[in-house]
């Protein structure tokens, strides 16, 4: 009788080095948007558990969660069933900074739901709760700065406690980061933002991505497939098609690689396990874009502006 073949091992996803010395996988499976939990929060959503298990089977050990998604308990259930050593996992979650609640309380609740003693990356989900940092009133601006600085001090305490390996932010613009950096003992290592060719965060000073690189903050992209999916058709369609044929990959893989080749972590999701498999075997891991291709995508992308999230916080033509 022939010996049974060993199950195929998922590929190791490369990492970027963070400014605190830790490393972060360049691809992440996101539990927001399509996996956002609606309805009763007390009943486990088996479909989310199964989608998470599918991602883990394909080697997506970097899971991106948030308390506002309402599905940390489902992620915890999937991790328990998957029985993967904690040391192999990279778990991110985020605090909504709910009024009257401390970071310590929010983190304790998230850790309990996730079933882990620590998270690898903990983020402030947005800066908008802190107030209007762009207000013409200097007192309003100062109050917003203080709120961000005080909350960041709580994040630093969470890191000191050992329950968080790295700390960062999400949806922060330059002014929010500048406020935090004025008083930070530990600078943010990550800023998770909506990032794709139709939202490159360019402004007169060169853009958010350049500022992050200057400060040693790694950008994480959510919505990296936007130009392929919900913002299509658009000026990039033919460019994606041409480059994907040249490399023998899909337009989605080109879109993800465009982020990675700029030093940006790509957060993506899919309900189709075969698609997740294809993105890493070899998929995104099997080719690189040339500098010319990266710039071609960037230039063509600037012909269209599309923002999929937080539209209530930005004017229609605001590209920051």
Helix axes 174-183, 138-160, angle to 10 degrees: 60
Both tokens of 102, joined, read 């401390």
Q: How far apart are CA 73 and CA 144, in angstroms?
A: 32
DSSP letter (8 states) at residue 196:
B
Residue 261 has a CB neighbour count (10 Å cut-off) of 18
Q: How far apart are CA 250 and CA 258, in angstroms?
A: 12
Strand partners, 5: none
Cis bond upstream, residue 276 (ω within 30): no
Token pair 């933002």 in the structure block, residue: 193
Classify 80 in phi/psi space as left (phi over 0), alpha (psi -120 to 50) or beta.
alpha
> Does the annotation count 69 as an active-site position?
yes
Q: How far apart are CA 15 and CA 24, in angstroms?
A: 5
Strand partners, 268: 29
At residue 83's C-alpha, the angle toward residues 79 and 89, to 5°, is: 60
Both tokens of 115, joined, read 């079933």
**Considering 125, 176, 196, 201, which one is annotated as catalytic?**
125
**Considering 61, 69, 90, 240, which one is annotated as catalytic?**
69
> Does the annotation count 125 as an active-site position?
yes
Both tokens of 219, joined, read 């950008």
Number of H helices, E strands in the chain: 10, 10
Active site residues: 69, 125
């Amino acid at each position: 009788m022939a010996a049974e073949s060993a199950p195929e091992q998922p590929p190791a996803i490369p990492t970027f080095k963070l400014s605190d010395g830790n490393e972060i996988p360049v691809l992440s499976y996101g539990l927001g948007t399509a996996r956002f939990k609606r309805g009763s929060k007390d009943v486990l959503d088996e479909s989310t558990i199964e989608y998470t298990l599918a991602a883990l089977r394909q080697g997506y050990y970097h899971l991106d969660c948030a308390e506002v998604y309402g599905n940390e308990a489902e992620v915890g259930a999937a991790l328990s069933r998957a029985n993967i050593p904690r040391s192999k996992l990279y778990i991110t979650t985020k605090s909504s900074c709910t009024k009257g609640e401390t970071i310590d309380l929010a983190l304790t609740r998230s850790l309990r739901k996730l079933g882990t003693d620590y998270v690898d990356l903990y983020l402030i989900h947005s800066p908008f709760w802190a107030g209007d940092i762009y207000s013409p009133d200097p007192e309003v601006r100062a109050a917003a700065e203080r709120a961000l600085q005080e909350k960041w001090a709580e994040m630093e305490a969470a890191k000191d406690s050992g329950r968080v390996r790295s700390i960062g932010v999400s949806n922060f613009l330059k002014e929010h980061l500048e406020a935090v950096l004025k008083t930070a003992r530990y600078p943010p290592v990550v800023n998770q933002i909506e990032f794709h060719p139709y939202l490159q965060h360019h402004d007169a000073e060169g853009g958010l991505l350049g500022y992050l690189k200057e400060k040693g903050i790694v950008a994480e992209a959510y919505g990296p497939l936007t130009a392929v999916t919900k913002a299509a058709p658009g000026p990039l369609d033919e460019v994606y098609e041409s480059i994907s044929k040249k490399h023998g990959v899909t337009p989605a893989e080109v879109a993800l690689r465009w982020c990675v080749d700029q030093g940006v972590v790509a957060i993506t999701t899919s309900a189709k396990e075969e698609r997740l498999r294809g993105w890493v075997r070899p998929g995104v891991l099997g080719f690189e874009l040339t500098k010319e291709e990266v710039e071609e995508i960037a230039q063509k992308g600037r012909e269209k502006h599309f923002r999929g999230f937080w539209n209530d916080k930005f004017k229609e033509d605001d590209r920051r």
